[in-house]
């Protein structure tokens, strides 16, 4: 990691670089801002620059110190994360190795309790205990740097310092050992003791632009440009979210499902609706809610496209053709009504109403809305519904 591999965040990188060139490196930093925008990446890049044998404001990337930071084995760089009390040390080591490979990877215990199964959740609390603060921060940081000019500790997700642990950490911050640099990262600065916050130099991280995420997905991950553009717009400013979407093979299938559902609803193809309604219903409420949100994004794209045509900044850019097709073929569709019935369905699905029933009713309401407020055709014989009215909704790529 060096500044060039921190995505976006120019203001932040410039500020950190300046502290090195002007020799005003703070003892304690608080990097705060939304999840997945590069706080940890910038912390590691900063630590790497501070430890680099070349001693410039930029890590050289070639010396043995830089190499060891990349492999996360530098004795003067401590990468800390909260974890449950029964965490397996081999698992922790693996997570830290993965951070070295990609500091944006979602490999922390809070968001990813199991590395093997990204969908698994856990009710175990990830935290920093008093014992860990004592051992990994107070003791480890009290020694002279082994090689570099500094000792650096990256305390990620610092809001997970329990009150007693936070108080112990605070004592050390009041009299920091020489040549130490603590970098706390958090997306919940409001949960950090005010006395700790006031002892840190604070640096705000903003959400990334879709363009920055898109370029990084293409450049760093080899994601196809069209898909990268879509994922970048769905990622809400978080590169970590973009990465997760890129690696989630289910996502494309879900988006296909959304289109199938819209087509079947339009054609009132009862058999097909029943089949599609069965599929997400098997996944559980969260997943169904997710599918409906994708559908809502798709509908919002329709609104945009109808307003602005080719100039619209669509979320589903790789489905632009299907969206254009829909708009041409269904000029009377009441898109606002489509959006509101879906919003309503999302609320119902999340509040314990029968999922398959909700989706079936939604299909009917969507069909009405797609035909427009004055279609005059409220009833369609079932036989019509079966003969492939699908064609009117265009095809996806
Ligand atoms: Zn170096």
Q: pLDDT tens across 35-57, in order?
A: 999 999 999 999 999 999 998 89
Domain residue ranges of the chain, discontinuous segments joined by + = 3-206, 213-246, 250-393
Q: What is the per-residue DSSP string for 142-197?
A: TSPPSSSS-EEEEETTGGGB-HHHHHHHHHHHHSPPTTEEEEEEES-GGGS-HHHH
Tokens of 268: 């009132």
Distance 48 CA to ligand 1 centre (A): 7
Residues 6+ apart with CB under 8 A from 56: 20, 49
- CA–centroid distance, residue 90 to ligand 1 (Å): 28
Q: What is the pLDDT of residues 268-290, one digit of tens each?
A: 888 888 887 777 556 667 667 77
* Residue 386, pLDDT score: 36
Mean pLDDT, residues 291-302 taken together: 82
Rounded distance, CA 365 to CA 341, Å?
Answer: 7
Q: Report CA(36)–ligand 1 centroid distance (Å).
A: 26
The closest alpha carbon to 37, from 62, 11, 68, 19, belongs to: 11
User: What is the reported pLDDT for 215?
Assistant: 95
Question: What local confidence, expressed as pLDDT, does residue 374 receive?
Answer: 54
Burial 330-351 (b: 16+ CB within 10 A, else e): beebbbebbbebbeebbebbee
As residues whose CB is below 5 A from the ion ligand 1, the structure lists 52, 60, 63, 66
Q: What is the mean pLDDT of residues 299-327?
A: 78
Segment among 7-21, 147-161, 306-320 with least mean pLDDT: 306-320
| Residue 188 · residue 159 · CB < 8 Å | yes
Q: How far is the CA of 76 from the centre of ligand 1 (A)?
A: 14
Residue 274 C-alpha to ligand 1 middle, in angstroms?
A: 61
How many Å apart are CA 395 and CA 397, to the nearest integer?
A: 7
CA 161 from centroid of its chain's CA atoms? 23
Region 134-144: mean pLDDT is: 89
Residue 148 CA to ligand 1 centre (angstroms): 11
**Distance from the CA of 65 to the center of ligand 1, in angstroms?**
6
CA 16 to ligand 1 centroid distance, Å? 17
Q: Separation of 192 CA from ligand 1 center, angstroms?
A: 33
Asked whether the beta carbons of 292 and 346 are under 8 A apart, the reply is: yes
- Please identify which residue in the block is written with the tokens 């193809």: 269
Quote the pLDDT of residue 383.
36
Structure tokens at 235: 């990622």
Residue 121 has pLDDT above 70, yes or no: no
Q: pLDDT confidence of 98, banded at 50, 70, 90?
A: very high
Residue 363 has pLDDT above 80, yes or no: yes
Any idea how long the chain is? Answer: 397
Whole-number percent of the chain with pLDDT over 70: 87
CA of 179 to the centre of ligand 1 (A): 18
CA of 324 to the centre of ligand 1 (A): 52
Q: Residues 239, 203, 159, CA angle at the centre, nearest 5°?
A: 75
Pair of tokens at residue 395: 């095809």
| CATH architecture, domain defined by 3-206 | 3-Layer(aba) Sandwich (3.40)
Would you place residue 77 in the very low, low, confident or very high pLDDT band (cuts 50, 70, 90)?
very high
With beta carbons less than 8 A apart as the criterion, state whether 367 and 268 touch. Answer: yes
Proportion of the chain above pLDDT 90, given as a percent: 44
Cα 185 to middle of ligand 1, angstroms: 24
Q: Are 187 and 35 in contact (CB under 8 A)?
A: yes
Q: How far is the CA of 72 from the centre of ligand 1 (A)?
A: 14
Provide the pLDDT for residue 373.
67
Q: Is residue 1 scored above 60 in pLDDT?
A: no
Q: Which of 86-95, 279-288, 334-343, 348-357 reaches the highest mean pLDDT?
A: 86-95
Binned at pLDDT 50, 70 and 90, residue 322 comes out as confident
Chain mean pLDDT for the chain = 84
Mean pLDDT to the nearest integer, 127-137:
92
Residues 6+ apart with CB under 8 A from 282: none
* Distance from residue 173's CA to the centre of ligand 1 (Å): 28
Work out the average pLDDT over 256-270: 79
State the pLDDT at residue 392. Answer: 40
d(CA 319, CA 397): 7
Averaged over 333-344, what is the pLDDT?
88
Report residue 298 as tokens. Answer: 């798709």
Helices vs. strands in the chain: H and E counts, helices first: 17, 5
Q: What is the pLDDT of residue 282?
A: 61
Q: Residue 397 — very low, low, confident or very high, per pLDDT cuts 50/70/90?
A: very low
State the DSSP code for 209.
P
Q: Is the pLDDT of residue 246 over 60?
A: yes
CA 66 distance to own-chain centroid:
28
């Amino acid at each position: 990691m060096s500044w060039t591999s921190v995505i976006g965040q120019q203001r932040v990188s410039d500020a950190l670089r300046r502290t090195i060139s002007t020799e005003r490196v703070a003892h304690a930093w608080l990097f705060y801002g939304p999840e997945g925008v590069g706080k940890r990446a910038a912390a590691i890049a900063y630590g790497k620059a501070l430890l680099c044998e070349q001693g410039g404001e930029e890590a050289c990337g070639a010396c043995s110190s830089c190499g060891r930071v990349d492999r996360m084995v530098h004795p003067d760089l401590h990468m800390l994360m909260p974890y449950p009390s029964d965490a397996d040390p081999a698992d922790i080591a693996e997570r830290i190795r993965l951070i070295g490979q990609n500091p944006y990877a979602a490999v922390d215990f809070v968001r990813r309790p199991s590395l093997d199964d990204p969908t698994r959740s856990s009710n175990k609390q990830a935290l920093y205990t008093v014992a860990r603060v004592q051992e990994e921060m107070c003791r480890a940081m009290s020694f002279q740097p082994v090689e570099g000019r500094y000792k650096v500790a990256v305390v990620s997700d610092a809001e997970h310092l329990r009150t007693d642990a936070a108080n112990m950490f605070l004592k050390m911050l009041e009299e920091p050992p020489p040549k130490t640099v603590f970098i706390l990262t958090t997306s919940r600065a409001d949960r950090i003791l005010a006395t700790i916050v006031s002892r840190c130099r604070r640096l705000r991280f903003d959400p990334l632009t879709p363009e920055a995420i898109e370029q990084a997905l293409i450049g760093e991950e080899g994601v196809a440009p069209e898909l990268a553009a879509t994922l970048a717009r769905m990622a809400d400013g978080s590169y970590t979210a973009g990465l997760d979407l890129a690696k989630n093979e289910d996502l494309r299938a879900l988006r296909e499902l959304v289109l199938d559902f819209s087509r079947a609803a339009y054609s009132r193809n009862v058999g097909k609706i029943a089949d599609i309604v069965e599929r997400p219903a098997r996944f559980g409420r969260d997943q169904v809610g997710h599918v409906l949100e994708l559908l809502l994004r798709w509908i919002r794209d329709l609104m945009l496209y109808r307003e602005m045509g080719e100039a619209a900044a669509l979320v589903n850019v790789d489905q632009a053709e299907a969206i254009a097709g829909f708009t041409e073929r269904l000029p009377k569709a009441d898109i606002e009504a489509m959006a509101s019935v879906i919003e309503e369905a999302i609320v119902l699905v999340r509040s314990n109403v029968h999922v398959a029933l909700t989706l079936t009713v939604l299909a009917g309401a969507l069909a009405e809305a797609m035909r427009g407020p004055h279609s005059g055709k409220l009833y369609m014989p079932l036989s019509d519904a079966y003969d492939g009215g699908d064609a009117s909704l265009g095809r996806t790529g």
